[in-house]
């Protein structure tokens, strides 16, 4: 484990990725401690779209709310949604993929068909349908839940491929001959081999969760109980920031999303480089 | 010694890493192979066998470089020639190679006859081009001659054939242009025992028919070499440590490494 | 009999599978909106009943129920009414002047299954119901107006992005060196950006700061939509930013995929063997490209959904009058029928595109012709 980490730390991609990600986590968690401006407070004196000042580092939004504290709150929500969606999607995907890929036979066929269904039917469509159906109760947690429940197909597919390639390995045949139950084999012999892979899947699911939340908020179906980066963008767009050339209202938020997602992407790619030769062996 | 086909003269090869470090994979190897001779080369993986093969075929493409020495086929040197020259005039025509019988030696999306035709197309000379029909005739004739189920095999994709059929097709394709010398690099290592025998029989059938005249047979299985090779050379850490007739090497090894190799074998007198 | 025509069998099999998937998509489209406690008619009625007399409201409800295929009809196609006790907003029974339970007529709702069949039947007849926000405009009209714009944005970006991305990726894999070292990190950075974010960045730079391109709409206010040169010119001019907010990301996604596929292919045993046999370099490269292209096609089929979703949101950034924009408007006005119509249309298009890609795989993978492999998926 420590050796793995050492190997990873040698990759500049990984170091940059993890640094950006940890920084964004720290800002999301401890940001309010250092920069404590109430996001609901409207600064009437400074007014809407106030320029940067000592009071408001990046100025204010269309309602006169402090932009930096909105960004911090938005980042916090985005990471929260991403993690919830990531955990749910990875769990479902790993379970279905592992079970189907390992068992084979008709169970695998059925699970695979279901997975393919969800790959082909756009996730975006399902997200829109559900989010617009649940109107009042659309909380941040619920959005994360919905995203997680609709985005697992991709993980299931790739885990299945890995699991079915493992199925024919010697040590698993040996365990079967020893009379070990399927569940025991899965947990003791299959999962450890896939652990690094599952972690990579998780990272990608988190980043796609963050993006999905931003997309769904962007079209006005975002959470009603919190501010997220997507909501900031949505409000900037709806209040004419794009057409009125008020770039400060949307540029920082876009950069925060891009950097966070890019950091996860870097981590994933660098891990692939380190783990894959081992997987292929 | 007038009928020497392949002559390797103090050949040394090295890899050049990105940081300018040299790694010497083949050191000062000299040997000859005469017409009709089968030379066996034995050594464990990583001893430089595969690198030597690249050198013998004149395919020294960076990061592989020639340190010194020469390789001559029928007296014609392969060194200091352009990659294109070697490709067009040497490969498959003078010297050809039979790779490991792995699953993936043939392009999975091409039929066997198309992969075979590629060899002809690759070596067409201006003024003597063959039509596809002529090429097909030649391929079919050759596979008939080798006693294969010609029609079915040539019209199949690799995935439709058994491992043995695939490897025999590979051998047929490698020798289509009647090369002087063939290098067989572990041609049976990925096959099961009965198929191994089939493949070996086929290779020697080709040799006896005079489709090619000499062969270098590379493997880590000494017992196999004992039966197929006239002479055996033992390669260790990039060098030839010992060369002699099969009898000498197996019955009376001189070098410590050869002795060790012999000891590692369970028994070396298994049935041919 | 089909054994003699493996390609046909493959296409039929795929077609059947997509048909089943289409039915599932319809079912999802039908069921999800009903997950909430409200049925679609009640959602619409909430607003529609304002300012109407009870009779008018009942009339309206009947029309809506019929339109949504939710009412139980008698032989003459009339809505069947049940007489039920009336309840007030608190769920307490309303009493009439004789202190007896007041009874009111209430349309009888058909069962979920039969509602579904009506829905499926309507869908196959191109009947997506009536838009509420633009009542009584049929949803199919809205779709007809916006679909061409969506296709105009998506088809070229996806097709061109795929083709050029693959060429670029193969070239990078083959050349390596400096080109690859510059190309790869840039492509990776682009990969991580969602279309709409990239679109906003483009707007910030080229529209807001430089003022080169318009940030909104699909054509200028000063031209009349129709078959005239001024209109086409305007459309082309307005097309630039939306196109380039999707194209580079799509391109780099395909290119990084192709790059690693091609590097893998270059290292396979059969490519090495081809080199040993003295095949020309150009020939080997063409094999590499062809072989790497097949998984890339499969990859395209799998990512179409995500691409389309992303591009729809891009439409919203640019107020481009396609399906995405129609859906956004519908969402803002709680126009349920239109949302549903748009989502179903999107699913249908993605399924069709997937089917098309699978047919392409059958064309390019000779093994399908030989009846060997089911390609795709």
Query: Among all chains, which residue has been given the structure tokens 């070990």?
Result: A180
A27 located within any domain: no
Q: Which of A123, A128, A265 sits opposite C339 (nearest CB)?
A: A128
Residue with the larger pLDDT of the pair A213 and A190: A213
- How much is the pLDDT for C37? 54
Q: Is the pLDDT confidence value at A41 over 70?
A: no
Looking up residue B184, the CATH number of its domain turns out to be 3.40.50.300
Residue with the larger pLDDT of the pair A157 and A54: A157
What single-letter DSSP state applies at residue C38?
Answer: S
Helix H segments across C176-228? 177-191, 195-202
Query: How far from B41 is each of A57, B79, B239, B242, C333, CA to CA, in Å?
Result: 75, 22, 11, 10, 81
Report pTM.
Answer: 0.78
Q: How far is C366 from chain B (nearest CA, A)?
A: 6
User: Does B173 sit within 8 Å of C276, measured CB to CB?
Assistant: no
Whole-number Å distance between alpha carbons of B86 and B94: 10
- How much is the pLDDT for A80? 93
| For residues A227-248, average pLDDT | 78
Q: Look at chain B and count its residues.
A: 272
- How much is the pLDDT for C68? 67
Total number of domains in chain B? 1
From B89, which residue of chain C is nearest by alpha-carbon distance?
Answer: C278
B184 touches chain C (CB under 8 A): no
- How much is the pLDDT for A85? 94
User: What ipTM does the predicted assembly reach?
Assistant: 0.88
- How much is the pLDDT for A280? 36
A96 located within any domain: yes
Q: Render pLDDT for C110-166 as a digit per residue (tens, 0 to 9).
A: 777 777 888 888 888 888 877 777 767 888 888 888 888 889 888 899 999 999 998
Query: How far from B167 is each of A35, B39, B107, B158, B195, CA to CA, in Å?
Result: 71, 21, 13, 10, 9
Q: Which of C276, C290, C365 sits opposite B97 (nearest CB)?
A: C276
Sign of CA dihedral B57, B58, B64, B65: positive
From C288, which residue of chain B is nearest by alpha-carbon distance?
Answer: B107
Q: How far is B42 from chain C (nearest CA, A)?
A: 21
Q: B163-174 and B112-122 are packed helices; what angle lies between their axes, rounded to 10 degrees?
A: 20
Looking up residue A239, the CATH number of its domain turns out to be 1.10.3720.10
Interface of C with A in 20-59 (CB under 8 A): 21, 24-25, 28-29, 32-36
| For residues C194-202, average pLDDT | 81
What single-letter DSSP state applies at residue C79?
Answer: B
C343 touches chain A (CB under 8 A): yes
- How much is the pLDDT for A187? 75
Q: In terms of residue numbers, what domain contains A248?
A: 67-280
Mean pLDDT of chain A: 80
B268 touches chain C (CB under 8 A): no
The number of C-beta contacts closer than 8 angstroms across B and C is 74
Q: Burial, B131: exposed, middle or buried (Cβ in 10 Å; 0-12, 13-18, 19+)?
A: exposed
Sorted by sequence, the CB contacts under 8 Å of residue C25 that are 6+ apart come out as: A121, A125, C344, C347, C348, C351
Q: Which of C194, C197, C302 sits opposite A119 (nearest CB)?
A: C302
Q: Is the pLDDT confidence value at C250 over 80?
A: yes
Q: Which of C273, C276, C366 sits opposite B109 (nearest CB)?
A: C366
Contact predicate A107/A95, CB 8 Å? no
Bridge partners of C85? C103
A47 located within any domain: no
Q: Is the pLDDT confidence value at C50 over 90?
A: no
B272 located within any domain: no
| For residues C20-33, average pLDDT | 85
Q: Is the pLDDT confidence value at C294 over 70?
A: yes
Q: Render pLDDT for A47-99 as a digit per residue (tens, 0 to 9).
A: 666 666 666 666 666 666 777 888 888 899 999 999 999 999 999 998 888 88
Interface of B with C in 38-77 (CB under 8 A): 57, 59
Q: In terms of residue numbers, what domain contains B109?
A: 4-263
**Using a CB cutoff of 8 Å and minimum separation of 24, what contacts does B17-20 make?**
B17/B63
Q: Render pLDDT for C179-193 as a digit per residue (tens, 0 to 9).
A: 777 777 788 778 767
Residue with the larger pLDDT of the pair C37 and C263: C263
Residue with the larger pLDDT of the pair B256 and A40: B256
Those chains having 3 or more beta-carbon pairs within 8 angstroms of chain B are C
A109 located within any domain: yes
Q: Is the pLDDT confidence value at A278 over 60?
A: no
Q: Which of B99, B123, B157 sits opposite C269 (nearest CB)?
A: B99
Q: Which residues of C fall within a CB distance of 8 Å from A123?
A: 305-306, 309
A31 located within any domain: no
- How much is the pLDDT for B270? 46
- How much is the pLDDT for C372? 64
Whole-number Å distance between alpha carbons of C27 and C4: 36
Indicate the Cα dihedral angle B60, B63, B66, B72, nearest 10°. -10
Those chains having 3 or more beta-carbon pairs within 8 angstroms of chain C are A, B
For chain B, list residues with pLDDT below 50.
1, 268, 270-272
Spacing of C-alpha B195 from chain mean position: 18
Q: Do chains A and C touch (3 or more CB pairs under 8 A)?
A: yes
A176 located within any domain: yes
- How much is the pLDDT for A148? 92
């Amino acid at each position: 484990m420590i050796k793995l980490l050492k190997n990873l730390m040698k990759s500049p991609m990984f170091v940059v990725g993890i640094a950006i990600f940890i920084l964004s986590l720290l800002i999301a968690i401890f940001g309010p401690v250092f920069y404590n401006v109430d996001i609901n407070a409207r600064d009437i004196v400074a007014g809407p779209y106030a320029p940067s000042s000592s009071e408001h580092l990046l100025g204010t939004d269309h309602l006169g709310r402090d932009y930096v504290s909105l960004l911090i709150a938005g980042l916090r929500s985005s990471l929260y949604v991403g993690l919830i969606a990531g955990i749910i999607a990875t769990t479902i995907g790993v379970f279905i993929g592992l079970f189907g890929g390992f068992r084979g036979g008709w169970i695998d066929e059925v699970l695979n068909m279901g997975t393919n269904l969800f790959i082909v039917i756009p996730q975006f469509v399902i997200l829109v349908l559900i989010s617009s159906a649940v109107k009042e109760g659309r909380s941040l947690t619920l959005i994360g839940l919905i995203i997680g429940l609709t985005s697992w197909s991709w993980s299931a597919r790739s885990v299945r491929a890995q699991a079915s390639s493992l199925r024919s390995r010697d040590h698993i045949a040996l365990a079967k001959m020893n009379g070990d139950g399927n569940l025991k084999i899965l947990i003791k012999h299959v999962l450890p081999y896939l652990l690094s892979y599952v972690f990579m899947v998780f990272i990608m699911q988190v980043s796609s969760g963050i993006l999905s939340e931003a997309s769904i908020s962007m079209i006005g179906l975002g959470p009603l109980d919190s501010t997220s980066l997507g909501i900031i963008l949505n409000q900037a767009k709806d209040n004419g920031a794009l057409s009125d050339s008020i770039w400060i209202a949307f540029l920082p938020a876009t950069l925060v999303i891009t950097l966070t997602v890019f950091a996860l992407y870097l981590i994933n790619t660098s891990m692939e480089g380190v783990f894959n030769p081992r997987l292929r062996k | 010694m007038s009928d020497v086909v392949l002559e390797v003269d103090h050949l040394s090869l090295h890899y050049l890493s990105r940081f300018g470090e040299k790694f010497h994979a083949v050191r000062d190897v000299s040997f000859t192979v005469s017409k009709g001779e089968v030379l066996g080369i034995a050594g464990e993986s990583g001893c430089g066998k595969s690198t030597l093969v690249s050198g013998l075929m004149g395919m020294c493409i960076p990061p592989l470089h020639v340190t010194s020495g020469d390789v001559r086929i029928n007296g014609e040197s392969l060194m200091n020639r352009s990659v294109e020259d070697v490709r067009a005039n040497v490969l498959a025509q003078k010297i050809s190679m039979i790779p490991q019988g792995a699953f993936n030696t043939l392009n999975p999306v091409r039929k066997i006859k198309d992969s075979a035709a590629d060899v002809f197309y690759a070596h067409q000379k201006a003024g003597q081009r063959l039509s596809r029909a002529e090429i097909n005739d030649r391929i079919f004739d050759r596979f008939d001659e080798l006693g294969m189920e010609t029609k079915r095999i040539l019209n199949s994709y690799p995935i439709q054939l058994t491992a043995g059929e695939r490897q025999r097709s590979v051998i047929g394709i490698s020798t289509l242009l009647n090369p002087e010398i063939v290098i067989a690099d572990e041609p049976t290592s990925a096959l099961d025992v009965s198929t191994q025998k089939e493949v070996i029989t086929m290779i020697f059938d080709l040799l006896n028919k005079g489709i090619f005249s000499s062969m270098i047979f590379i493997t880590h299985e000494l017992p196999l070499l004992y039966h197929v090779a006239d002479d055996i050379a033992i390669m260790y850490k990039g060098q030839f440590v010992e060369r002699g007739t099969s009898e000498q090497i197996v019955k009376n090894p001189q070098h410590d490494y050869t002795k060790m190799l012999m000891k590692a074998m369970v028994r070396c007198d298994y049935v041919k | 009999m089909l054994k003699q025509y493996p390609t046909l069998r493959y296409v039929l099999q795929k077609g059947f599978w997509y048909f089943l998937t289409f039915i599932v998509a319809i079912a999802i489209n039908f069921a999800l909106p009903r997950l909430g406690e409200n049925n679609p008619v009640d959602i619409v009625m909430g607003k529609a009943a304002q300012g109407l007399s009870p009779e008018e409201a009942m009339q309206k409800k009947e029309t809506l129920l019929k339109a949504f295929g939710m009412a139980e009809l008698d032989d003459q196609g009339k809505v069947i009414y049940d007489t039920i006790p009336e309840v007030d907003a608190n769920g307490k029974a309303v009493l009439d002047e004789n202190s007896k339970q007041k009874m009111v007529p209430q349309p009888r709702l058909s069962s979920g299954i039969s509602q579904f069949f009506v829905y499926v039947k309507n869908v196959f007849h191109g009947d997506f119901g009536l838009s509420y926000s633009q009542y009584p405009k049929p949803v199919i009209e809205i779709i007809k107006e916006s679909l061409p714009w969506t296709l105009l944005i998506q088809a070229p970006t996806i097709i061109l992005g795929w083709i050029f991305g693959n060429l670029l990726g193969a070239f990078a894999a083959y050349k390596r060196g400096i080109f690859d070292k510059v190309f790869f990190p840039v492509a990776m950075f682009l990969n991580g950006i969602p279309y709409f974010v990239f679109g906003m960045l483009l707007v910030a730079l080229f529209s807001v700061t430089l003022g080169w391109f318009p940030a909104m709409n699909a054509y200028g206010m000063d031209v009349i939509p129709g078959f005239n040169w001024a209109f086409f010119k305007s459309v082309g001019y307005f097309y630039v930013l939306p196109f380039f907010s999707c194209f580079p990301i799509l391109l780099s996604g395909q290119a990084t995929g192709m790059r690693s596929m091609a590097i893998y292919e270059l290292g396979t045993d059969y490519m090495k063997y081809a080199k040993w046999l003295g095949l020309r370099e150009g020939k080997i490269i063409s094999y590499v490209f062809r072989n790497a292209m097949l998984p890339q096609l499969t990859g395209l089929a799998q990512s179409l959904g995500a691409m389309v979703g992303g591009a729809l949101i891009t439409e919203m950034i640019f107020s481009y009058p396609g399906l995405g924009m129609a859906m956004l408007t519908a969402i803002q006005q709680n126009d349920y029928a239109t949302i549903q119509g748009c989502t179903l249309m999107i699913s249908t298009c993605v399924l069709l595109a997937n089917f098309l890609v699978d047919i392409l795989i059958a064309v390019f993978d000779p093994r399908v012709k030989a009846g060997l492999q089911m390609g795709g998926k």
